[in-house]
Amino acid sequence: MEPVIVLVGRPNVGKSTLFNYLTRSRDALVADYPGLTRDRQYGRGKVGSRPYIVVDTGGLGDDPEGVALGMQSQAMRALDEADVVLFLVDARAGLTAADEELATVLRRRGTPLYLVVNKVDGMNRAMAGAEFHRLGLGEPHMIAASQGTHVAPFIEQVLTDL
Ligand code: GDP
Ligand code: MG
């Protein structure tokens, strides 16, 4: 089966935008994946000759009671299905308390994880990434999901590293 890439991050960081970009070429929502639920969206995509399944965890962090309770949500269970997690943050908003809370939880998990700084369009990439080093999740990867900037080579790297 294809590797499963799960997109997480607080609301509005660009998860659905990235999901749409990553599934655009085949535009096939997955209907036959084991454990499929309505809380999250599954899609198939391909970079080069490598296929993957990508999961958009829409509900995560939308919970008014905060990330901690949200962690028990259905959406959060998507992490258990992940071969790799992409943790998205927003270069324009900068580092937020919700990002830090999520990072704390994600750091404890063994799943391979990449820190993805989205919305770097029109920004200096090095500057945009700098403050996110503090999350302690390794090198930030800068992208602009709405234009697909830097996305394909990054995903190819992620799949190669698996
Ligand atoms: P989600 O809540 O994490 O799924 O975020 P969305 O994908 O719905 O995006 C939230 C907002 O950010 C929308 O208005 C998007 O158009 C915008 N957005 C997403 N990606 C980018 C990007 O790369 N650059 C810019 N400037 N805006 C973006
Ligand atoms: Mg969304």
Q: Could you report the predicted ipTM of this complex, rounded to two decimals?
A: 0.99
- For the record, the structure tokens of 111 come out as 């799943």
Q: Return the closest-CA partner of residue 118 out of 162, 152, 87, 82.
A: 87
Ligand nearest to the CA of 90: 1
Q: Return the closest-CA partner of residue 120 out of 159, 160, 88.
A: 88
How high is the pLDDT of residue 140? 97
Kindly give the parts of the chain with pLDDT less than 70.
25-39, 58-75
How high is the pLDDT of residue 78? 84
Domains and CATH numbers, the chain: 4-161 (3.40.50.300)
How many A from CA of 15 to the centre of ligand 1?
A: 7
| Contact call for residues 119 and 40 (beta carbons, < 8 A) | no
Give the Å distances, CA to CA, from 153 to 46, 47, 49, 98, 115: 12, 8, 13, 28, 15
How high is the pLDDT of residue 51? 94
How high is the pLDDT of residue 1? 86
17 among the known binding-site residues? Answer: no
* Buried-state track 131-152, b at ≥16 Cβ within 10 A, e below 16: ebeebebeebbbbbbeeebbbe
Which amino acid appears at position 4 of this protein?
Answer: V
How high is the pLDDT of residue 70? 56
How high is the pLDDT of residue 110? 84
Q: Does 149 contact ligand 1 (Cβ within 6 A)?
A: no
Q: Does 61 contact ligand 1 (Cβ within 6 A)?
A: no
Q: How far apart are CA 161 and CA 125, in angstroms?
A: 23
Q: Which atom of ligand 1 is nearest to the CA of 9?
A: 3
